[in-house]
A and B are shown apart, each in its own frame.
Chain A
Amino acid sequence: MKPPASASWKAPLKFRMPTAENLVPIRLDIEVDGQRYKDSFTWNPYDPDSEVVMFAKRTVKDLKLAPGFIPQIVQSIQSQLADFRSYEGQDMYAGDKIVPIKLDLRVNHTVIRDQFLWDLNNFESDPEEFSRTLCKDLGIEDPEVGPAIAFAIREQLYEIAIQNVTSARENRINKKGRRGAEHFPLSKAGGAALDLMKLFNFRSSVVRKRKEWDYYKPILDLLSNEDVDALEAKEERSGR
């Protein structure tokens, strides 16, 4: 157990996703023999390793991909899981953190853009439930949007959590004490969180300013087929 460098802030916790379920976001982008497979989903890291193989096999079978995909998928998933597990043993600094989460996704015909604040300290939070509620409230009919939203949220939370791990390590090295805890020189998200903290002191009110209303509400667009094709072509070009 690594002792905290200074006793004046909260003891760092073991790294984990700041959600009710400790699930890992996995992103796959594999190209074999001219076939490109892109996917993203959440994975439970406590599933046995045989699950990875089984999942890869089923996916390849279901999507009728070339069998050469299987080892690549397995390897990609396992390496992402290994990354996650490598962070798991380390400490994570968990201070007062309210971070903005941004959504900017296109899933089939639906485009959704949104921004909201998320409490990183709430380890009972559930991106899946949030996404289900959001889809229901906005009346999104395409069932693939939900998982994409949940995944995007989870991915951002994961990245922020990773930054917390590295910043915890830096703080211990620098030994700045409480002052150090409040400076996150490298992480942008930390900077954003800090501003929000200043917002929420007793001098200002909790009600959002009018000019910020537009940023914080969800924007939903339904595209026609031509728009979808155009966007996809553009993405592919920029991807290459």
Chain B
Amino acid sequence: MAGKSPVKKAASSDSTPIPNPNQFKPPQISTKFTSPAVKSEISSIPTPTPVPTPTSRPPPSQPSSIDADIIHVPSHSRWFSWEKIDSCEVRFLPEFFDGRSPSKGPNLYIYYRNSIIKLFRENPSRKISFTDARRALVGDVGSIRRVFDFLDVWGLINFSASSAPSKPTKDTANNNKSADAPSLESPSFAATTSKNSSTSRRFCGACKSLCTIACFVCDKYDSTLCARCYVRGNFRVGLSNADFRRVEISDEAKADWSEKETLLLLEALMHYGDDWKKVAQHVGGRTDKDCVARFIKLPFGEEFLGDPYSKETESVFETNKRMHLTPLADASNPIMAQAAFLSALAGAEAAEAAARAAVTTLSEVHDTTASKGGRGSLARNMRRDWHLAEALFLSGAEADISSNGDTNLNAPGRTYVDVNSLLEKEEGDIERAIIGITEVQMKEIQDKLVHFEEVDLQMEKERQQLEVMKNLLFIDQLNLSFRRSYALESEEQGVDNVKADVF
């Protein structure tokens, strides 16, 4: 590192020191990716934006001088910059970016975020609480809380070396599948990767019913709730959705799948493909449903091993497959996050059933484009399941399709795009029609104006004529009165001729 401030490595986490903005020099940030497997999860987060110099431009008006010269920020928050909004912020806090409410826009988000961070950095050794932050900000407390939590989780506020270890443990607890930072919003990602506890029979703490499919365990108070109670929010006042993690019973009740069984499963899949009964036989000791359930839950990298059908003609599909499946694993995509959340809530079987229903309906529509070969291969079916389930969720959701999704959707995506273009055309037509109407109305008005002008002119003329007539009349009257007076005079003089002249 070329900068003058040394890189301070915190004891148990990667952190990058960011020099005090008042120092006005662009810091060279070097991060050392040291060891533990957990950390690799954190540091493997893709950083789409180029590595910025987060505080190379000093924030607008730093009111007080900052005591600590160096502010630590964890390496996975390298993307942060005062003026820019990173894509992970858009993902985690979509409410500011989906344009649903006009005043809740990216500017508002930047205002909240920067004020909270400034507030923290005024005194970095002290953690700021949510209440401090929301007192100082204008806005509704729900959104402020979400921004605050987001910054907290990503270590942009309240981050000091001593508090770092808490995050890695949260990572392992929550997400195995996703490669991104922990998400507080949907804890039920823990669905498939929960730490299984030993007891096989579980009773719900609230409604005292036997937990069958899945139960939710709170570690803090060591209580268990059945899925119904959890969804209804039937827990103690001090708890929230985030405190519970989902624990699958059906898996547990029959003990975990051993390595051998998984291997047998994969072998069977290679040989038998779609025939789950044979697969179940091959694995031995598991019903076909179990096998399917287990297969779905496998991290899909394993699926690429030894799939004979896909290697030859369907290499294209394989790459598609990879793209299909990774979004599922990428839980940060909000739509897929929702999809995973919903499927976790509904249970793997229900999600599978929904996906299969989607297969049948959608395959009728997209028969030609969905599958090239006529061969029924397991891999393709599974891929189609997810592909169509994904399409199902997407068609239900109204969010925009991220670039990930674009490359993934073949037929449904194309129709969606077509529909979009049709919509645009319609809108264009409507606009043109409206323009035409307004033009016509303007012309009408103009014609009226011209007409009125003409009428006005005519009136003027008539008035002038009237004036002239009035003048003439006046002259006549004058004449008359003169002559009368003259006549009277001459009458008095006793001349008769004048009288005759007048009349």
A residues at B contact (CB < 8 Å):
20-21, 23, 41-44, 47, 49-51, 53-55, 57-59, 61-63, 70-71, 74, 124, 126, 128-129, 131-132, 141, 143-144, 146-147, 149-150
Contacts and interface: CB of A to CB of B under 8 A. Distances in A.
Interface of B: 63, 101-104, 111, 115, 119, 129-132, 134-143, 145, 233, 237-241
Contacts of B233: 49-50
A58 B138 CA distance: 19
A41 B136 CA distance: 11
Nearest to B137: A147
B137 A143 contact: yes
Given A42-B141, A44-B143, 4 more contacts: A42-B139, A55-B141, A62-B131, A128-B103
Contact of A41 (B104, B141, B238, B240): B141
A21 B132 CA distance: 23
Contact of A53 (B130, B135, B136, B240): B240
A200 B84 CA distance: 45
Contacts of B119: 143
Contacts of B138: 128, 131-132, 146-147, 149-150
Closest 10 A/B residue pairs (Cβ): A62-B129, A143-B136, A62-B131, A47-B142, A146-B138, A44-B142, A20-B103, A44-B140, A128-B138, A42-B140
7 contacts: A21-B101, A41-B140, A53-B238, A62-B130, A128-B139, A147-B138, A149-B138
Given A58-B130, A70-B238, A23 B101 contact: no
Contacts of A132: 111, 138
A206 B278 CA distance: 86
A24 B139 CA distance: 11
Contacts, number: 86
A20 B129 contact: no
A20 B32 CA distance: 47
Contacts of B115: 143
A70 B131 contact: no
B132 A62 contact: yes
Contact of A43 (B103, B137, B142): B142
Contact of B103 (A21, A53, A61, A144): A21
Contacts of B130: 58-59, 62
B363 to A, nearest CB: 37
Nearest to B129: A62
Contacts of A47: 142
Nearest to B119: A143
Contacts of A74: 237
B140 A146 contact: no
B238 A57 contact: yes
A41 to B, nearest CB: 5
A144 B136 contact: yes
B218 to A, nearest CB: 14
A224 B161 CA distance: 40
Nearest to A57: B238
A42 B134 CA distance: 10
A115 to B, nearest CB: 20
B136 A21 contact: no
A173 to B, nearest CB: 35
A47 B241 CA distance: 14
B140 A51 contact: no
A21 B108 CA distance: 13
Given A44-B142, A132-B138, A146-B138, A70 B103 contact: no
A51 B237 contact: no
A129 B139 CA distance: 9
B351 to A, nearest CB: 23
A124 B102 contact: yes
B489 to A, nearest CB: 61
A20 B102 CA distance: 7
A71 B237 contact: yes
Given A62-B129, A62-B130, A128-B103, A50 B136 contact: no
A91 to B, nearest CB: 23
Nearest to A24: B140
Contacts of A144: 135-136
Contact of A147 (B104, B135, B239): B135
Contacts of A42: 139-141
A131 B131 CA distance: 19
Contacts of A41: 134, 140-141
Contacts of A61: 129
Contacts of B135: 143-144, 147
A200 B196 CA distance: 72
A53 to B, nearest CB: 6
A58 B115 CA distance: 20
B139 A58 contact: no
A58 B240 CA distance: 11
A141 B240 CA distance: 36
B418 to A, nearest CB: 33
A20 B134 CA distance: 20
A194 to B, nearest CB: 29
Contacts of A58: 129-131, 145
A50 B137 contact: no
A48 to B, nearest CB: 8
A124 B238 CA distance: 37
A137 B115 CA distance: 18
